[in-house]
Structure 1
Amino acid sequence: MSSEIPVKQVDPSSGPSDNNNKSGTVELYASRKKIYVKEVKGFFQRIRNVSLTLLMGMYFAFVWFTLDGQPLIHFDLPAREFHLYGATFYPKDFILLSGMLIICAFGLFFITTLFGRVWCGYTCPQTVWTFIFMWVEERIEGSRNKRMKLDKAPSSANKIAKKSAKHGVWLLIALATGLTFVGYFYPIRELIADLFTLQANGWAYFWVAFFTVATYLNAGWMREQVCLYMCPYARFQSVMFDPNTRVVSYDPNRGEPRGGRKKGVDPAEAGLGDCIDCGQCVQVCPTGIDIRDGLQYECIGCALCIDACDEIMDKMNYPRGLIRYTTENELEGKTSKLLRPRTFGYGAVLSLMIAAIIFTIATRVPAQMDALRDRGALYSFNGEGRIENSYTLKIANMTEVPQTFTLAVTGLEGIRILTDTSVTVESGENRSLPTVVDVPPESIAESNYDIVFRAQSETDSSLSLETESRFVGPTR
């Protein structure tokens, strides 16, 4: 028995036509339709409120905290110093930044393989600020239906007042966001004082304005467009999904066929599934999708549709979970595995990177010394008949206080430093110190020797530095 696939001749010059498209052309890019998100309360929304409060509290509060007179977090670009929680890092510590970025990347991959886009739904800055702006909009303009009516209504004093109040609050939040962000690079107390007394430099005004406008546009106007078209994560996250990834899903086996019915009607007797086709899951979605159509890249995993559906199920006296966090295997009646080779791989790399960063920071010496030999002259004899070599010692002090070091050199009998053996290096300073070392001629039997420079801090007895170099003498 053979089967045939029906074929239909298509004229490429023709296209669908309607009253608004007389030419029959097809629009490849549809204009954006504003999404009116309905407010919903529930378990997952409470979780997001907690995460939102914590994240926003940390963002706006940490910029004001100080430790020993130094901002808790301060990226001092002109001085090339990065102060984080009492520790100071320099450009030479760039490897630590690279490691932290790798940790963030693999942490995101690891979480995505397990729980999908929970990062997007609960902690992404775009989500956090968008939900704040939506909350403001809800409080000023009213519920979803009221906002829709307000937008359709002709201009009036009431409409202008509400729109002005909403955008005014949005701009204030955006300004606070911009000031705070710049405050991590320009001490916030100085920044605010300098801005309002017109003493700040032009770049400070530029970046405050830039981040104010960016926040206002991204969270107030573009919203889901940032997630759909600007964020690369929406495009490649599906690569990390598999049938065991737990994501927000609609259960068609339980919900279909859909249909409206009165409360108390047994869906089995009516030949229907549990879905009453109320559309609440669509109305609360911040990206405007219908989760009942299956997993879509637009879904950010915020779980608002779960809270909305559970509320309807409670009203209908049906079990919760028609829309829930589940896996493809579970929907098909199969066993779902939490741990699998992919998660082990991401988890192993993540654990190794975390351990490496912790070890590096724990063993990091907050100072550094290098010895550069003067290549202009191999050696010379001084007035005492001793053999001299010249060096430049470079000592970097990465602690928060000035350090006074006592210098010494070893490696040859009778070796000594002729120049100053005590040097004070300010916090954050990278000091170059010309140094002359000599040895008695009888200590030289070969053309060169390994020597070791040592610097012991008088301020901090636990801080001891050393570096190797070469001493060159005449060949016997």
Structure 2
Amino acid sequence: MSQKLQFQTLKIYPRPVTGRFNRWRVGFVAVTQLVFFLLPWLMWNGRPAVRFDFGTMRGYLFDLVLLPQDLIYLAGTLILSALGLFLWTTLAGRLWCGFSCPQTVYTQIMLWIEQVFEGPQRTRRLRDAGPWTPEKILRKTASQGAMAVFALWTGLTLVGYFSPMRPMVARLAEGMLGPWETGFALGYAAFTWLLAGHLREAVCKHMCPYARFQGVMYDRDTLHVTYDPTRGEPRGALRRSTPAAARPQGDCVDCGLCVQVCPAGIDIRQGLQYECINCGLCIDACDPVMDKTGRPRGLIRFSTQNALESGQPPLGWLQRPRALFYSGLMIVCSAVMGVGLYLHAPFKVDVLRDRAVFARENEAGEIENAYTLRIFNTRGEHRHYRVRLEGAPGVRLEGAGGFQVPADADGSFVVTVAAQPETLSSGSHPLRFVVEDAADPLRTVEAHAPFLMP
């Protein structure tokens, strides 16, 4: 019998709650959005501090300038990010989802906007269930308009990482924004408005692949939000008329607050569920109830399956082989990338042999090979470079060995290498072009090309 995938159709109205985990969530929203929205405006040595320029195929990260030859660092960053996510999931489950995921962050912002224009959670629920009135239309229009404005600014900010933000905003004010900038800004704005403003928790439940495969990284020592059934069951409301000694119930008073505040709309008392994003808001809702009833906090808490069953504290990450394995891989990957970036030369060199001519003989009877030498200067100032040859004996570089390259540009130079016929045998000989910065001779870059002797 076939089963159809059923999506959540009822809109969730999470109840606002205060507490330490909610403060952490608000803090992460503030920090991530300050970085995201302010970074494109930051200038560094006369250019954007962070920019990915597809026109010139360069990436700028403060003083670091990356070229297509540096894509290995992008691969390393992705590997490091994946390992970090694996480690974090092994240690504390979907904590990334609950505090830092863009979907969670923007959904929270959209909920704040909705609350400002449409009122508290209960009011919104009742109004949405009622008929369309002029007030409802006005509030919905204002709410969706504010969400659209925020989404548009988010889209423009994202484009600002690829096109300089200040000139782009000036062109926007003049109505002269380019088609690519307009298209990508509107596309990402629509994406943000739809996913964070409307689909919300459905993205985390049904669309996000991480929600599906993160369970394979869990084990019995993974921290996650848990309900302690040993303490809480049997649950029921407190009745003052019943003596405490005669109450056959646990600490849970079945108030339902943990369900009302959950942004995913789940009941944590039903056990571990893949929809749980480990935001901890149910803990913030439960702890004050325990205070009021005179029970110890922690009926709902971050714990592990082994800790719940044994009554012992959860294991630290140093006691968990899988966490140590991921940590070791991250240290190795970080060390390799760190050394590479430390040794990263502020210029790149490419050498391409002229394939149109196999070899030619000059007036002195020497055999010549022609090459195109391309030097990429990633510094923000004019530089002078010197070139010397290594590898094949008896070869020499004809003409000037010095080349001038403007700031933040690349220069192409046609150079000729000559050798006496008797110094080299017939065939291909490896040749190294060693390029050094005249002002910093310790910085050298090598490029390899063959020298062909007929």
- Is the CA contact (8 Å cut-off) linking 1:259 and 1:276 kept in structure 2? yes
Corresponding residue of 1:113 = 90
Corresponding residue of 2:285 = 308
Structure 2: distance between partners of 1:267 and 1:73: 63
- Is the CA contact (8 Å cut-off) linking 1:88 and 1:400 kept in structure 2? no
Map Cα deviations across residues 189-229 of structure 1 (whole Å, 9 max, x no partner): 11112223232221211111111111111111110011011
Shift of 1:101: 0.5
> 1:411 and 1:93, CA in 2 relative to 1: closer, same or farther beyond 3 A?
closer
Structure 1: distance between partners of 2:432 and 2:256: 76
Decide which structure has the larger Cα Rg and report it. 1
Structure 2: distance between partners of 1:231 and 1:327: 24
What is the number of equivalent residue pairs in this alignment?
450
> 1:196 and 1:410, CA in 2 relative to 1: closer, same or farther beyond 3 A?
same
Structure 2: distance between partners of 1:63 and 1:264: 63
Shift of 1:161: 2.7
Shift of 1:379: 4.3
- Is the CA contact (8 Å cut-off) linking 1:403 and 1:460 kept in structure 2? no
For the pair 1:401 / 2:343, whether they are aligned, the reply is no
Corresponding residue of 2:65 = 88
Corresponding residue of 1:357 = 337
Corresponding residue of 1:178 = 155
- Is the CA contact (8 Å cut-off) linking 1:195 and 1:205 kept in structure 2? no
Corresponding residue of 1:318 = 295
Q: Which moved more, 1:343-352 or 1:403-412?
A: 403-412
- Is the CA contact (8 Å cut-off) linking 2:7 and 2:206 kept in structure 1? no
Shift of 1:466: 3.3
Q: Quick one: which amino acid aligns to residue 366 of structure 1?
A: P
Shift of 1:369: 2.4
| Equivalent residue in structure 2 for 1:280, among 248, 251, 257 | 257
**Residue pairs, 1:350-429, within 5 angstroms:** 350-377=330-357, 379-410=359-390, 415-429=395-409
- Is the CA contact (8 Å cut-off) linking 2:215 and 2:274 kept in structure 1? yes
- Is the CA contact (8 Å cut-off) linking 1:281 and 1:291 kept in structure 2? yes
**Residue pairs, 1:139-288, within 5 angstroms:** 139-262=116-239, 268-288=245-265
Q: Quick one: which amino acid aligns to residue 267 of structure 2?
A: D
Q: Which moved more, 1:85-94 or 1:67-76?
A: 85-94
Structure 2: distance between partners of 1:317 and 1:453: 78
Structure 2: distance between partners of 1:81 and 1:437: 30
Q: Quick one: which amino acid aligns to residue 88 of structure 1?
A: V
For the pair 1:52 / 2:32, whether they are aligned, the reply is no
* SS class of match (1:249): strand
Structure 2: distance between partners of 1:376 and 1:237: 55
Structure 1: distance between partners of 2:242 and 2:439: 81
* SS class of match (1:155): coil
For the pair 1:332 / 2:309, whether they are aligned, the reply is yes
> 1:38 and 1:413, CA in 2 relative to 1: closer, same or farther beyond 3 A?
closer
> 1:30 and 1:178, CA in 2 relative to 1: closer, same or farther beyond 3 A?
closer
Shift of 1:139: 2.8
Corresponding residue of 1:8 = none
Structure 2: distance between partners of 1:130 and 1:270: 42
Map Cα deviations across residues 372-407 of structure 1 (whole Å, 9 max, x no partner): 444555544422344433333232223333322123
* SS class of match (2:246): coil
> 1:369 and 1:254, CA in 2 relative to 1: closer, same or farther beyond 3 A?
same
> 1:427 and 1:264, CA in 2 relative to 1: closer, same or farther beyond 3 A?
farther
Structure 1: distance between partners of 2:337 and 2:210: 25
Q: Which moved more, 1:426-435 or 1:444-453?
A: 444-453
Map Cα deviations across residues 101-158 of structure 1 (whole Å, 9 max, x no partner): 1111110010111111100000000001111111222233222222222223333333
* SS class of match (1:63): helix
Identity %: 40
Map Cα deviations across residues 296-320 of structure 1 (whole Å, 9 max, x no partner): 0110111110000012112222111
Structure 1: distance between partners of 2:263 and 2:118: 17
Corresponding residue of 1:437 = 417
Structure 2: distance between partners of 1:175 and 1:111: 32
Q: Which runs of 5+ in 1 are unaligned?
A: 1-11, 13-24
- Is the CA contact (8 Å cut-off) linking 2:7 and 2:202 kept in structure 1? no
Taking structure 1 as the reference length, the TM-score comes to: 0.87
Cα-Cα RMSD: 2.5
* SS class of match (1:298): coil
- Is the CA contact (8 Å cut-off) linking 1:412 and 1:439 kept in structure 2? no
Q: Which runs of 5+ in 2 are unaligned?
A: none
Corresponding residue of 2:328 = 348
| Equivalent residue in structure 1 for 2:38, among 40, 43, 61 | 61
Q: Quick one: which amino acid aligns to residue 401 of structure 1?
A: E
Q: Quick one: which amino acid aligns to residue 92 of structure 2?
A: F
Structure 1: distance between partners of 2:394 and 2:4: 87
> 1:221 and 1:411, CA in 2 relative to 1: closer, same or farther beyond 3 A?
closer
Structure 2: distance between partners of 1:33 and 1:413: 78
